[in-house]
Chains A and B, each alone.
Chain A
Amino acid sequence: MLGGYWESVAIFVGINVLMGMSLYVPMAAGLISLGQGGFMAIGAYTSAVLTKQGWSFGIALPAGAALAAVAGLIVGAPALRIRGIYLMILTLGFGEIVRVFFLNFEPTGGATGLGGIAPLTQLPWVVIACALAVFVAWRLRASRLGRAMIAIHEDDVAAEAMGISLVTVKLFAFALGAGLAGIAGAFYAHQALYIDANQFDFSRSALTFLYVVLGGPANPFGPMVGAVVVTLLPEFLRVVADWRMTFFGALLVIAAIWRPDGLLRAPTFK
């Protein structure tokens, strides 16, 4: 199939697409998280520990996702009363706490990290997971749950007055997003084969945020486009060799000015 290097690139792109979708879901309900890296870490460490104990990937990955989703419920609970920038900083704090925790938690390696993870990630599965995530996001728009999320995003007072339970929808959006990040984390751990706390730091969460906002947070295909562009662009900037990040940063500024609502706009009404 694809050459080894490009297969690896494709897998990492896929993992980033999953991260993008993990933020897309809560953002659709108006909940912005700068802490998706924390959920990714939970999925990564949990699944790695399980496979090292002899469990199959088919068990370890869902377990990592489930634990991440539970964390999403816990973090999401205060999110019910907190919004906007407050929520962004709260989730940022969560991500940092997870990072510092794993940095110090000796059973999973502490600062030295966790190595010797089995290479169980395969491209077809990553692609399937991405396709499912994007498909679900696309179908969400035409569903009752999706409409409820959009309503809450725009005007949660009116949404509640129309009978929508804010608690149910917000917690669900947060938990689902966290679970997706957990799946991404599990794939990541079994592709990178070595993980440590600093791989899931704030820049991971910030990049995830970029995928969505740059790609278009109101479009189900937006985060995918954003993840692909942000992940692959530095590859194509090899021409400018050592100044890749400078160019990349400059391009981000330009993109924010030129397309503040993202590369993909919200889909128009039928």
Chain B
Amino acid sequence: MTALLQAEGVTKTFGGYTALSDVSCEVEPGSVHAFIGPNGAGKTTLFNIVSGVLRPTTGRLFYQGQDYTGSRADQVLAMGVARNFQQVRLFHGLSVVENVMVGCHARMGGLLRDALNLVSPKPATELAARERALEMLALVGMSDRVRGAPAALTLVDQRRLEIARALASAPRVLLLDEPAAGMNPSDVNELVALVRSIKTLGITILLVEHHMRFVMTIADTITVLSAGRVIARGPPAAIQRDENVIAAYLGVA
């Protein structure tokens, strides 16, 4: 099985600070691939690079075998890689449904051609987008909260909304950056169920998380980062026993 998504020798420096150092990894299609590691390990930086928000200083990125290094975030989304954000980044000037509809944009064809739709009352594409948005909201369990302002939602619902928005673009790969942060145990269980249902849709999931029970339950493969380097990779059971991982988290005695 060729990897769906691949990073090769990715290094990222910010001025004098090296956030990632020669990171390589492969993500198999249809899997849940988690990235864990102590704070400052570079996990979110890696996500930012994979999703095109940042450019790597050196290294290459491949999607379905094609080199996409240096692509912008909107180009990456068009490829089929969507994401959420660690600190929730919703559009508060738009309603809940409209936020998800923004996710649909990428699949709606030429944006400027749509400009001509301004004078037509309810073009078919608008209705289709709204329907899809409602479907996504149902998928994340928010059918009863589709109206109103995103700011009025609880943090957990805001995270769900962000995931719905990312799903609306019909991605093949979904990047989830700390989706369980700030959640209580029952919310985490719901999140596990949600991630599983996304997986059954055939979507490959990359996950950054600190919540260990969540990770160990859901992940097929785990890559461990520490101080910008990969220190271990493997299935959950192996990672839990890995000496390097334990040392990284607890500090060498």
Touch A–B, Cβ below 8 Å: yes
Measured CB to CB, the residues of A under 8 A from B are 135-136, 139-140, 142-145, 147-148, 150-151, 153-155, 157-166, 168-169, 172, 218, 266, 269-270
Given contacts A163-B106, A269-B148, contact A169 B93 (CB under 8 A): no
Q: Are A168 and B111 in contact (CB under 8 A)?
A: yes
Given contacts A168-B112, A169-B111, contact A150 B73 (CB under 8 A): no
Which residues of B lie under 8 Å from residue A154 when comparing CB positions?
91-93
Roughly how many angstroms separate A159 CA and B73 CA in the complex, as a whole number? Answer: 9
Roughly how many angstroms separate A140 CA and B117 CA in the complex, as a whole number? Answer: 9
Partner of A145, one of B91, B111, B166: B111
Q: Are B102 and A172 in contact (CB under 8 A)?
A: no
Measured CB to CB, the residues of B under 8 A from A are 51-53, 72-74, 76-78, 82-83, 85, 89-95, 98, 101-103, 105-106, 108, 111-112, 114-115, 117-119, 125-126, 129, 147-149, 165-166, 169
Q: Are A159 and B147 in contact (CB under 8 A)?
A: no
- Helix, strand, loop or mixed for chain A's interface? helix
- Helix, strand, loop or mixed for chain B's interface? helix
> 13 additional contacts, CB 8 Å, given A155-B89, A269-B95?
A143-B115, A144-B108, A145-B111, A163-B74, A163-B103, A163-B106, A164-B74, A164-B105, A164-B111, A165-B74, A165-B111, A172-B112, A218-B93
Roughly how many angstroms separate A120 CA and B95 CA in the complex, as a whole number? Answer: 45
Distance in Å: Cβ of A133 to nearest Cβ of chain B = 11
Roughly how many angstroms separate A168 CA and B78 CA in the complex, as a whole number? Answer: 15
Q: Are A161 and B83 in contact (CB under 8 A)?
A: yes
Given contacts A140-B118, A144-B108, A144-B129, contact A160 B73 (CB under 8 A): yes
Given contacts A162-B103, A166-B74, contact A147 B94 (CB under 8 A): yes
Distance in Å: Cβ of B180 to nearest Cβ of chain A = 20
Q: Are B111 and A162 in contact (CB under 8 A)?
A: no
A-B pair number, CB within 8 angstroms: 108
Q: Are B114 and A158 in contact (CB under 8 A)?
A: no
Partner of B125, one of A144, A162, A164, A168: A144
Which residues of B lie under 8 Å from residue A140 when comparing CB positions?
118
Given contacts A148-B102, A148-B105, A269-B147, contact A172 B115 (CB under 8 A): yes
Closest to B72 in A: A160
Q: Are A150 and B77 in contact (CB under 8 A)?
A: no
Q: Are B105 and A144 in contact (CB under 8 A)?
A: yes
Roughly how many angstroms separate A157 CA and B149 CA in the complex, as a whole number? Answer: 20
Distance in Å: Cβ of B79 to nearest Cβ of chain A = 10
Given contacts A147-B101, A148-B102, A151-B91, contact A162 B115 (CB under 8 A): no
Among A155, A158, A162, A266, max chain B CB count under 10 A is at A162
Distance in Å: Cβ of B74 to nearest Cβ of chain A = 5
